[in-house]
């Protein structure tokens, strides 16, 4: 959403002095030598030391390009832009070049006006805007090189002209031009208008511009009428030398008291107060609220607000710091505080794994509103290279997402005809086709994290166990690198990805992306295929309270079929269910329907976790800002960002009613040959036959249900007892170059390896059955539902694995038709 250029310009130019008018009897003063008599008198005095002809020539040159007095109120004063949380009650920060709040002259008490005029300009109400003697002193100082003070006695009007029109560079030329303009300003505006502008313009020190900001800064009083006589006198004296007189600094206190005393003395002289009142004020101790410390809540979020606000205002960065806007953001302070606490707590607990930094982003996927945003574990930790706290790793940093990026690959495969039951063979493969099976001469031979390979696995199992080789096979066979990039971009990934440089490693998360983009992209799944771009801003109001931009009627763009989004979400829900995922379930369950995908890069440089419920998506990155590797000892994405995600989501959703996603009309269920349970998923993915030893229910887009009856499970070779075994014939669906690697896995599995306790039936190859014994028993009809007893996977330390799969502590359950509970995982899931 944008605002029109005219609307924006109008909003920016509206200022507190847009109603200033020239006096009813005033008229424009012509430029040049045609000035009123008082000006001539002042100039003649100032130029007394200059020969007459030369003085006239100088006068002509000085007034030739003199600014207009109208410039005094032409540009609005710089006002602070205040940034609030989503309730509009909590101030997060204010962007400003000058801390200022506008007041009217009626807001300024008489005692403060009298104090200011007594010390700055006693004859303010009656003079033409200049101090003639002060100009003469300035001229003398300039011509004789004998300074007599910083420009002589400037009137209030001259001070305004200097700050708003002429500039503060000291010279005789500037002083004369200042005097001319001061007189013209006096003829153009009323004294009350000039005085009001002065009280809002002038600098009082300690980053306070204008008298209201000064009152708040030094005394904590927003109502100026609450100022005491002593406080009013102190404020009135500050503009002369704000940095030297700043009373919040102990070294300035004596000078501040002396200056206050001078003001009070002048107030007696002008009969603004009595001698008794002066003595009472003198006796009042100077008590200030202390030096102003600029605080910022959710700093990295606030800077994202600044960037979005700049775009809203048409790219004008100065408008952010000078425009006086009121910005209501999307930040939920309760969620923000919970996020900051959980990030710090979890990172602190993982220091012994060399984890020192993390980022977290929570977004409402239905509206795109960013509700919590942690850009680093500690914004103020700028010394530790592992933290680099000022750097926003959530919104500016690009880190490898690891397996979390696989989701875009599998979504693309679903769009192009694959299903959740599509099976590929998890066997180590050289996708360049050069290696002979030794894997010493690989062109591209990705490894699974645990260095184990599980043969035929469905898409669901491949995602649930985050297996790398199947992911690459799906990318190669179904998705295609360029189409995966397109899917990722449509869902919200903004990083530029060159397909010619990234290749098949794309699906393993080899390309760096932003955490906020990953959270937003997963929000498309949470929102059942509809993308809403993230926003940090809810509403922007100008200084007059008029709404110039609001987050409503925002674009909602469908980028995924709702059925595809639902099926992928259902698969990712397995990750948070102990009965569906023996690897992740116990680490990430939050007691309600939720979907999650983790990711880990090589050698534990970055770990990711992105998960969601219908109302909220949260992404987490964890690692070290300088790229130091985390320790592989008993550490994984599940126990790092996975546990952080779990604990944070459980807290902030405690009072939110659990909800699940409604199944779209184009999603149906069908029975297929896939092993059930947390360890299941291998099989053919076809319709069950009479020989199929098991079956599971899987989700499909209507019309994509498998129609082929399973022929992977076939009668095997005769047994000694006369029965016939059931064998599994594995077929590689994909490139012929993969087949030798599949056969290598089959051979090793038949020899007793590479099955890891998951397979207890025969693997049928093309070779004939062994020669039968002389008296074989009759071969009965094979049972349709054998339930072979599974043995525990052997304990094995994979070579080079930084994150092995856990070894179950109890024997694996037998394969049956119904899902079976999984054993508790060991402490090192990936």
Output the CA–CA distances (angstroms, integers) from residue 20 to 100, 189, 199, in the order listed.
19, 7, 15
Between residues 65 and 18, which one has the greater pLDDT?
Answer: 65
DSSP secondary structure string for all residues of 386-402? TT-TTS-TTTT-EE--G
Give pLDDT, residue 730: 84
* 201-240: pLDDT as tens digits: 999 998 899 999 999 999 999 999 999 999 999 999 999 9
Q: Residue 59: is its pLDDT beyond 60?
A: no
Ramachandran region, residue 703 (left: φ > 0; alpha: ψ -120 to 50; beta: rest): left
The structure tokens listed for 401 are 């997402």
Q: Which phi and psi (to 5°) does residue 361 adopt?
A: -135, 130
Q: Quick one: pLDDT at residue 211?
A: 97
Spatial neighbors of 96 by CB under 8 A, at least 6 apart, are 78, 79, 80, 81, 321, 322
Bridge partners of 674? 683
Average pLDDT on 94-113 reads: 94
- Any idea which of 34-38, 145-149, 382-386, 608-612 has the lowest mean pLDDT? 34-38
Q: So what's the pLDDT on residue 772?
A: 55
SS percent in the chain: helix, strand, coil, step 5? 40, 15, 50
Cα–Cα distance between 419 and 411 in angstroms, integer? 10
Q: Mapped to the 3 state alphabet, what secondary structure does 539-565 carry?
A: EEECCCCCEEEECCCCCCEECCCHHHH
| pLDDT level of residue 182 (50, 70, 90 thresholds) | confident
Exposure class string for 527-536: b at 16+ Cβ within 10 A, else e? bbbbbbebbb
pLDDT at 797 over 70: no
- pLDDT single digits (tens) 726-780: 788 887 777 788 888 988 888 888 776 656 666 655 676 555 666 655 544 444 4
How much is the average pLDDT of 573-579? 92
pLDDT, tens digit, 9 for 90 and up, residues 77-94: 899 999 999 999 999 999
Q: What is the pLDDT of residues 366-399, one digit of tens each?
A: 999 999 999 999 999 999 999 999 999 999 999 9
805 — alpha (psi -120 to 50), left (phi > 0) or beta? beta
Helix (H) / strand (E) element for 595: namely strand 595-600
User: Which helix (DSSP H) or strand (DSSP E) does residue 261 occupy?
Assistant: helix 253-269
Are β-strands 81-84 and 326-329 bridged in parallel, bridged antiparallel, or unpaired?
Answer: parallel
Q: Which of 361, 379, 359, 378 is nearest to 370 (CA)?
A: 361
Query: Is the predicted pLDDT of residue 356 greater than 60, yes or no?
Result: yes
What average pLDDT does the segment 668-677 reach?
Answer: 94
Two tokens, residue 384: 């530790």
Q: Give the position of tokens 């939110």.
A: 656
> Quick check: 155 pLDDT over 50?
yes
pLDDT at 197: 92
Say what the pLDDT of residue 208 is: 92
Q: Is the pLDDT of residue 484 over 70?
A: yes
3-state secondary structure 229-260: HHHHHHHHHHHHCHHHHCCCCHHHHHHHHHHH
Instruction: Quote the mean pLDDT of the chain.
Output: 83
- Secondary structure E strands in 139-183: none
Two tokens, residue 106 = 């009626």
Q: Which of the residue ranges 52-61, 130-139, 637-646 would you say has the lowest mean pLDDT?
A: 52-61
- Give the pLDDT of residue 293: 72
pLDDT at residue 64 in the model? 58
Does residue 814 surpass a pLDDT of 50?
Answer: no
Q: Decide: residue 204, CB within 10 A, 0-12 exposed, 13-18 middle, 19+ buried.
A: buried
Q: In the predicted model, what is the mean pLDDT of residues 133-138? A: 64
What pLDDT does residue 37 have?
44
* Interatomic CA distance for residues 478 and 405, integer angstroms: 16
Which whole number is the average pLDDT over 650-675? Answer: 96
Q: How many CB atoms lie within 10 A of CB 481?
A: 21
Query: Which residues, at least 6 apart from 322, have a Cβ–Cβ distance to it below 8 Å?
Result: 76, 78, 79, 81, 96, 97, 98
Whole-angstrom distance, CA of residue 789 vs CA of residue 300: 55
Q: How far is CA 474 from CA 410, 426, 477, 808, in A?
A: 7, 11, 5, 29
Which pLDDT does position 586 carry in this prediction?
A: 86
- Give pLDDT, residue 472: 97
The SS3 assignment for 518 reads: helix
Token digits for 734? 């994909």
Cα 60 from Cα 615, distance rounded (Å): 72
Torsions phi, psi for 813 (to 5 deg): -70, 155
Alpha-carbon separation of residue 624 from 399, 610, 630, 795 (angstroms)? 11, 18, 8, 32
- Residue 670, classified by CB atoms within 10 Å of its CB into exposed (0-12), middle (13-18) or buried (19+), is middle
Mean pLDDT of 679-693: 90
CA distance 124 to 257: 25
pLDDT at 669 over 50: yes
276-297 burial string, b = 16+ CB within 10 Å, else e? ebbeebeeeeeebeeebeeebb
Nearest-10 crossing angle of helices 191-201, 172-188: 130
Q: Would you say how long the chain is, in residues? A: 830
Longest CA span, the chain: 140
What is the tens place of the pLDDT at every residue in 414-430? Answer: 999 999 999 999 999 99
Which two structure tokens, joined as six digits, stand for 813? 């359950």
What sign results for the dihedral spanned by CA atoms 345, 351, 356, 361? negative
Q: What pLDDT sits at residue 517?
A: 98
The torsion angles phi and psi of 326, rounded to 5 degrees, stand at -110, 120
Tokens of 43: 């100039």
Give percent of the chain with pLDDT exceeding 70: 79
Our measurement of the distance from residue 713's CA atom to the centroid of its chain's CA atoms, rounded to an integer in Å, reads 52
Q: Is the model's pTM score more than 0.75? A: yes
pLDDT for 523 equals: 98
Strands (E), 389-445: 398-399, 423-426
Statement: residue 9 has pLDDT above 50: no
Tell me the mean pLDDT in the region 29-41: 40
Instruction: Report residue 234 as tokens.
Output: 């102190």
Nearest CA to 584 out of 818, 824, 424 is that of: 824
pLDDT on residue 176:
77
Three-state secondary-structure class, residue 489: helix
* Residue 423, helix vs strand vs coil: strand
Nearest to 472 by CA among 405, 518, 563, 571: 405
* 500 or 71, which is more confident: 500
Please state which of the ranges 40-49, 187-196, 347-356 shows the lowest mean pLDDT: 40-49
């Amino acid at each position: 959403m944008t605002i029109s250029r005219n609307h924006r310009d109008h909003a920016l130019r509206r200022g507190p002095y847009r109603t200033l008018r020239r006096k009813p009897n005033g008229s424009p003063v012509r430029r040049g030598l045609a000035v009123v008599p008082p000006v001539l008198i002042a100039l003649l005095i100032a130029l007394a030391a200059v020969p007459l002809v030369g003085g006239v020539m100088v006068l002509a040159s000085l007034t030739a390009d003199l600014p207009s007095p109208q410039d005094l109120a032409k540009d609005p004063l710089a006002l602070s832009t205040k940034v609030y949380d989503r309730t509009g009650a909590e101030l997060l920060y204010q962007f400003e070049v000058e801390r200022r709040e506008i007041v009217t002259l009626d807001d300024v008490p008489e005692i403060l006006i009298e104090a200011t005029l007594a010390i700055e300009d006693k004859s303010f109400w009656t003079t033409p805007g200049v101090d003639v003697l002060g100009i003469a002193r300035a001229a003398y100082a300039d011509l004789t090189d004998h300074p007599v003070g910083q420009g002589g006695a400037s009137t209030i009007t001259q001070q305004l002209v200097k700050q708003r029109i002429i500039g503060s560079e000291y010279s005789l030329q500037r002083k004369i031009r200042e005097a001319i303009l001061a007189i013209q300003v006096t003829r153009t505006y009323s004294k009350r208008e000039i005085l009001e502008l002065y009280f809002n313009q002038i600098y009082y020190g300690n980053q306070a511009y204008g008298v209201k900001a000064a009152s708040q800064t030094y005394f904590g009083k927003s109502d100026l009428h609450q100022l005491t006589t002593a406080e009013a006198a102190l404020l009135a004296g500050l503009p002369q030398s704000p940095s030297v007189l700043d009373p919040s600094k102990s070294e300035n206190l004596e000078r501040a008291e002396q200056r206050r005393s001078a003001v009070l003395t002048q107030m007696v002289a002008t009969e603004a107060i009595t001698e008794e009142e002066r003595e009472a004020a003198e006796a009042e101790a100077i008590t200030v609220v202390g030096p102003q410390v600029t605080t910022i809540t959710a700093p990295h979020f606030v800077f994202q607000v600044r960037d979005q606000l700049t775009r809203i205002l048409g790219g004008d960065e100065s408008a952010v710091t000078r425009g006086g806007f009121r910005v209501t953001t999307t930040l939920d302070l309760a969620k923000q505080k919970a996020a900051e606490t959980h990030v710090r707590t979890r990172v602190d607990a993982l220091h012994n794994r060399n984890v020192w930094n993390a980022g977290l982003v929570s977004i409402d996927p239905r509206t795109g509103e960013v509700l919590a945003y942690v850009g680093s574990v500690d914004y103020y930790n700028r010394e530790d290279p592992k933290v680099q706290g000022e750097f926003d790793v959530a919104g500016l940093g690009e880190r490898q997402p690891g397996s979390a990026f696989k989701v875009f690959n599998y979504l693309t495969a679903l769009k192009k005809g694959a299903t959740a039951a599509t099976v590929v063979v998890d066997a180590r493969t050289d996708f360049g086709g050069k290696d002979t099976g030794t894997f010493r001469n690989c062109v591209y031979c990705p490894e699974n994290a645990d260095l184990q390979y599980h043969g035929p696995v469905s898409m669901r199992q491949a995602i649930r166990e985050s297996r790398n080789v199947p992911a690459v096979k799906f990318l190669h066979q179904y998705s295609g690198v360029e189409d995966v990039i397109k899917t990722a971009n449509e869902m919200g990934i903004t990083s530029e990805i060159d397909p010619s440089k990234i290749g098949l490693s794309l699906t393993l998360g080899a390309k760096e992306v932003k955490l906020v983009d990953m959270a937003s992209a997963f929000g498309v799944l949470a929102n059942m295929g509809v993308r809403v771009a993230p926003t940090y801003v809810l509403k922007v109001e100008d200084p007059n309270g008029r709404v110039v931009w609001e987050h409503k009627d925002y674009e909602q763009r469908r980028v995924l079929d709702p059925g595809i989004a639902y099926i992928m979400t259902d698969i990712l829900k397995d990750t948070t269910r102990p009965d569906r995922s023996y690897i992740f379930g116990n680490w990430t369950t939050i007691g309600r329907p939720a979907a999650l995908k983790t990711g880990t890069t090589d050698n534990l440089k970055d770990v990711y976790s992105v998960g969601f419920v219908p109302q909220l998506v949260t992404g987490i990155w964890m690692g070290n800002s300088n790229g130091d590797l985390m320790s592989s000892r008993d550490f994984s994405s599940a126990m790092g960002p996975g546990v952080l995600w779990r604990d944070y989501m459980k807290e902030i959703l405690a009072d939110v009613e659990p909800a699940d996603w409604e199944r779209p009309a184009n999603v149906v269920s069908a029975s297929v040959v896939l092993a059930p349970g947390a360890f299941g998923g291998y099989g053919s993915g076809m319709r069950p036959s009479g020989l199929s030893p098991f079956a599971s229910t899987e989700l499909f887009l209507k019309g994509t249900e498998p129609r082929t009856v399973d022929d992977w499970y076939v009668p095997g070779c005769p047994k000694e007892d006369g029965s016939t075994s059931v064998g599994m014939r594995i077929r590689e669906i994909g490139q012929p170059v993969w087949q030798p690697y599949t056969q290598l896995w089959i051979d090793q599995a038949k020899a007793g390896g590479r099955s890891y306790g998951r397979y207890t039936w025969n693997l049928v190859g093309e070779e004939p059955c062994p020669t039968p014994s002389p008296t074989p028993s009759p071969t009965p009809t094979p049972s349709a539902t054998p339930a072979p007893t599974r043995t525990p996977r052997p304990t094995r330390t994979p070579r080079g694995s930084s994150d092995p799969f856990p070894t179950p502590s109890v024997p694996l359950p037998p394969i049956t038709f119904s899902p079976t509970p999984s054993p508790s995982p060991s402490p090192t899931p990936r």
